[in-house]
Amino acid sequence: MTTSSITAPAAVVTPRDTVPDPARQRRRRTLARWGFVAPAVVFMLLFFGYPLVRNVVMSFQHYTPKTFFTGRAPFNGTDNWSHVFRDALFGKALWHTLVFTAGSLLGQFCIGLALAVFFNRRFPLGGVLRSLILLPWLVPMVVSGVVWRRILDQDTGVLNSFLDTLGLPGHTPWLTDPGMALLSVILVNIWIGIPFNMVILYGGLQEIPRELYEAASLDGASAWRSFRSITLPMLRPVITVVLVLGFMSTVKILDLILALTDGGPADATQTLGTLTYQNSFVQLDFGAGAVVGNVLILISAVFAVLYLRANRTEGK
């Protein structure tokens, strides 16, 4: 089960090349093989491809409440785009999105990695504690949002009363001050994301042969040194997976912010995700909503291309 994957791709090609079947039989076999993949491809085209294309088309259409009755949405060129880009809120939301994503990823990843390393050591009850720490991840995001909203309440929240008893500033306006709100939302999202990061990074750590550490400690390497020269390089593929998946899910976040602040106060936590929602479902300007949605997809795509390129150069 712990077989290294590096040798595997070579093995994949062999059966296909060595079987000298007649052409028809080979075609039948290819068809059968596609049968494995086809349902997933069709599914993804329907559930992701189609909405994606539709969203792009929609961003060039004049979509009003009337459209729902007539089905007609005339094309209006780049009107939606220029309208969205001229809105001061868009720049604000873009900036908030970047801050939110960077902050969340940094926090989730660092704490997740620290905990993964911590739990990778053997100590009594380690396994139990490790699995219990996953619990926050099991709570639906809408629910987490509600609970945190109460905890962070400025006057009656338990966090402030706790700080108060410690003699610390017990009147922090976590969610009600425009300067604080984004930070608070990031903190909550870090809390939500730690388990996911920890579980995957822990899985990666388990793969690193312990002998490497033993050899390093025999050579007199410090803990920090062996972390840097063994753990990090060996963990690299896992780290990229965590960060890429994390980025894509964080950048488009919506339900957590809706539950915590609804984009407020004074638009201080308005992100591209909430802006899409607001344009489409509050203002009923679906064209503008589609534009913001496309921008979100574009940001992710740029990130994905960068990631793939980095991966490729690394492979060479």
Closest approach, Cβ 85 to another protein, in A, equals 13
Token representation of residue 245: 């998946």
From 85-93, 97-105, 210-218, 220-228, give the range in contact with another protein by CB under 8 A. Answer: 85-93
Token representation of residue 123: 């100590």
Taking CB under 8 A as the criterion, the residue among 176, 213, 221, 243 binding another protein is 176
* 261 touches another protein (CB under 8 A): yes
Taking CB under 8 A as the criterion, the residue among 241, 306, 310, 314 binding another protein is 241
* 95 touches another protein (CB under 8 A): no
Taking CB under 8 A as the criterion, the residue among 26, 27, 33, 225 binding another protein is 33
- Three-state secondary structure readout of 9-23: HHHHHHHHHHCCCCH
* 154 touches another protein (CB under 8 A): yes
Taking CB under 8 A as the criterion, the residue among 74, 178, 209, 233 binding another protein is 178
From 48-56, 99-107, 215-223, 225-233, give the range in contact with another protein by CB under 8 A. Answer: 48-56
Q: CB-wise, 75 or 156, nearer to another protein?
A: 156
From 96-104, 211-219, 224-232, 278-286, give the range in contact with another protein by CB under 8 A. Answer: 278-286
Token representation of residue 77: 């060129």
* 93 touches another protein (CB under 8 A): no
- How far is 195 from 178, CA to CA, in rounded Å? 28
From 93-101, 209-217, 222-230, 242-250, give the range in contact with another protein by CB under 8 A. Answer: 242-250
Evaluate the CA torsion angle 193, 195, 196, 201 in order and state its sign: positive
Residues 207 to 236 in contact with another protein, rule: CB under 8 A:
207
Taking CB under 8 A as the criterion, the residue among 94, 113, 175, 185 binding another protein is 175
Give me the 110-149 binding string for another protein, x by CB under 8 A, dash otherwise. Answer: -----x--xx-xxxxxx--x-xxxxxxxxxxxxxx-xxxx
Q: What is the DSSP letter of 169?
A: -
* 266 touches another protein (CB under 8 A): yes
* 36 touches another protein (CB under 8 A): yes
- How far is 268 from 93, CA to CA, in rounded Å? 8
Long-range Cβ contacts of 133-140 (<8 Å, 24+ apart)? 133/194, 133/195, 133/198, 134/195, 134/198, 134/199, 135/195, 136/191, 136/192, 136/194, 136/195, 137/192, 137/195, 137/196, 137/199
Q: What are the CA-CA distances from residue 96 to residues 55, 93, 240 (Å)?
A: 23, 5, 24
Taking CB under 8 A as the criterion, the residue among 22, 24, 37, 167 binding another protein is 37
- How far is 190 from 194, CA to CA, in rounded Å? 6
- How far is 75 from 95, CA to CA, in rounded Å? 30
* 13 touches another protein (CB under 8 A): yes
Q: CB-wise, 8 or 218, nearer to another protein?
A: 8
